[in-house]
Structure 1
Amino acid sequence: MRIIGLTGGIASGKTTVARLFEKLGVPVIDADKLAREVVEPGTQGLARIVDAFGAKVLNPDGSLNRAELGAVVFADPAARRILEGITHPAIRRLAEEKLQRLRETGTGTAFYVAPLLIEAGITSRVHEVWVVYLDRETQLERLMARDGLSREAALARIASQMPMDEKKRLGRIVIDNCGSRKELEAQVLRLWEEEIAHREAERCQDSVSPK
């Protein structure tokens, strides 16, 4: 099974791109969704986070207060590394389970969406990397609008990740999301046709061709 790692900076549009591919029939495993699963109430992940950061990171109902935890880890690289040490192994195990299930069904191509795919050094899990790109100012504006952040807070979150221009150079495919939604959809459709549907058709043809 071909696994495409889809990444980009915060607020770059990774989730939007992933949903567009999913609508076209390509399975998507989203590390952000896995990250929520591994810290749900009652999980070992959440218990370890509370041990590390205190009960202040919990909501009254016992669920994780993401805003509170985010304020801590985005301001402190050491705290962020502690959090990643708790969540990343759990996310990896869950991702491997889901990928194995896709392999067993004969899936030819799947996306693994992870914002820190490159920073966390986990590109070995995928066969190639695609990057959703935004210029810095557009990224900043969209992040502020999306999360209701001040410019200072948004800059801190952007600074915690690899610069977009550097990440862009590491992608085999770069999806430019600086323009309109219509332009983005056109790029995704073209990539699906050229990079996925065409290859899947060739794979199926090879599988039925006489040896």
Structure 2
Amino acid sequence: MRSVDADRFIVGLTGGIGSGKTFVADLFALHGVTIVDTDAIAHRITAPRGAAMPRIAREFGEAFVAPDGSLDRAKMRTLVFADLQAKARLEAITHPLIREETRREVAAASGHYVITVVPLLVEAGEWRSRYDRVLVVDCSVETQIARVMRRNGFARDEVLAIIARQATREARLAAADDVLVNEDRTPEALADEVRRLHESYLSLAKSTSRRHPGS
């Protein structure tokens, strides 16, 4: 596989909603790994004065802009869940900006490898070939539902609707080079697994660097 930046060994971290991607990414960060979170980038570009907001306002109207100038996420979520064309129009605005900012952050990163958190990595198939390694954080659908209901206060049907729009658990596992199971595990057990993966990625990144010293 070929990375988004020839000088970087890049791990794409993904998983379904409620799988624990952010917690796992934070554990990698404790080892000094640079984390590029595409979800965080998406929030930045749709925040007040965010790069995507002028075009979103033109494309969808001021009704989708909150009083503070940010994206009205609840209203937009309702629209794109009901209208696939609206979803495609939104993604045509946001995805190029997210990709460009991801490239910039990866290029600016230090260390032997970078982790890019991409919630919809499997859904956006063209992204798969951009990573040297794909790590999937996995748990059961029932665990996803319980976590999101507790965290976000969503009704069960709302969570199921979100899960239905994401890749299936089976599809994510099929795309994985590595799987971290986050099902009823203690933080200490997860930290041990992250340490093992970190050491593996360091070794792979250093090996790749030795094979391509001029990259």
Q: Does 1:55 align with 2:62?
A: yes
Whole-angstrom distance in 1 between the partners of 2:51 and 2:203:
43
Whole-angstrom distance in 2 between the partners of 1:43 and 1:144:
29
Q: Alignment partner for residue 160 of structure 1, among 165, 168, 186?
A: 165
Aligned match of 1:176: 181
Percent identity over the alignment is 38
- Secondary structure at the counterpart of residue 187 of structure 1: helix
Aligned match of 1:185: 191
| TM-score in terms of structure 2 length | 0.85
Aligned match of 1:113: 117
Aligned partner letter, 1:108? H
Aligned match of 1:133: 138
Which range is displaced more, 38-47 or 174-183? Answer: 38-47
Whole-angstrom distance in 1 between the partners of 2:43 and 2:53:
10
Whole-angstrom distance in 1 between the partners of 2:183 and 2:71:
33
Aligned partner letter, 2:122? I
Q: What is the deviation of 1:67?
A: 2.2
RMSD across aligned C-alpha pairs, in angstroms? 2.0
| TM-score in terms of structure 1 length | 0.87
After TM superposition, what 4+ stretches of structure 1 lie above 3 angstroms from structure 2? Answer: 197-204
**Structure 2: which 5+ runs fail to align?**
1-7
**Structure 1: which 5+ runs fail to align?**
none
- Secondary structure at the counterpart of residue 120 of structure 2: coil
Q: Does 1:38 align with 2:42?
A: no
